[in-house]
Amino acid sequence: MSIILTSQGAGFYDAENAVRELTQLKDTEAVPSSLIIQALQLAENEIAPCLKEEFLNSDDQALLEGKYMLAANFLLRSLASGSGYNQQALKLGSVQTGETNKTQELIELAKVWEQQAWERLARFCQAKSVETNELVSIKNESFSLS
């Protein structure tokens, strides 16, 4: 069960760039490709079980955007857990995090991305799985990619 753009090669590159654009995390040394690809894979693993069969190989833009938003959620949670941004302020598009409360700000922003992702994905998923999104949020509170 895989969503389009998950095979190695150009698909991952395009998806990685989409997540970088979405989060404005363009520094490839501070946020390596492997971290974003892992976040994309985690997002796909969350989406796949709830995906309606007719969308399994869909290239619908809204489905891809939902996947990228969910990946942004995982990426920000990883960064909040201390995988490289511990001592510095962070700029994510128009949002500037401070050095002192950066972790909480990243988690709050991740929650926003997660909520928006599931709203975007709702029409592609079986209702039962979308309704369990609160459980997904709770489960992800202590999530770490490292």
| pLDDT tens, residue by residue, 6-44 | 434 445 578 999 999 988 988 888 888 999 999 999 999
Higher pLDDT, 101 or 144: 101
Domain of 99, in residue numbers: 10-138
pTM score above 0.75: no
Q: Considering the domain boundaries, does residue 143 fall inside one?
A: no
pLDDT of residue 66: 94
Q: 20-29 pLDDT, tens per residue?
A: 998 898 888 8
Q: Considering the domain boundaries, does residue 144 fall inside one?
A: no
Element (H, E) at 92: strand 90-92
| Mean pLDDT value of segment 101-114 | 87
Q: Considering the domain boundaries, does residue 68 fall inside one?
A: yes
Q: What's the distance, CA 14 to chain centroid?
A: 14
Percent share of the chain, pLDDT over 90:
42
Contacts of 145 (CB under 8 A, 6+ apart): 35, 38, 39, 42, 74, 75, 77, 78, 81, 83
Q: Considering the domain boundaries, does residue 29 fall inside one?
A: yes
pLDDT of residue 144: 38
Q: Considering the domain boundaries, does residue 5 fall inside one?
A: no
Domain count, the chain: 1
